[in-house]
Amino acid sequence: MSEKSISKMLFSNQEKVELALTDDLKKLNNEYYSNTDNANSIIKGLLSEARAAESKIDQAIKSANKMDSVISKVEQTAKELGINTNNIKELQDAKSALKESSEYKQVLSTIKKFISSI
């Protein structure tokens, strides 16, 4: 076999190897971009949901913050009238909401961190 034909054989095998490697890269690139495109869609949905939750929790906390002074007034009025405050359902519900709102403040903080990190 001549040097020229050996060189030709080696060159064509090298091309095949290079083509196979570039095919592998193409496949990996396609997988990467397909997955990141899907992830970006999911992230956009999560951000939208997180912002909606942030808004609702913020509104709820504002309501809870206003409850404190009303709770005091209801308790004072009930005392003056001789009514047991434990028998006032709205008062008990408001106290529960007030306690619960502190947990939602922590949730709101976490949501804000999530939104700002993306």
Q: What is the mean pLDDT of residues 42-59?
A: 97
User: Which residue bears the tokens 């040097």?
Assistant: 3
Tell me the residue type at 98: L
Domain hosting 54: range is: 3-117
The whole-model pTM stands at 0.68
Higher-pLDDT residue of 22, 106 = 106
Inform me whether the pLDDT recorded for 21 exceeds 90: no
At residue 20, the pLDDT reads 80
**Inter-residue contact 64 to 101 (CB < 8 Å):** yes
Q: What percent of the chain has pLDDT over 70?
A: 86
* Total domains in the fold of the chain: 1
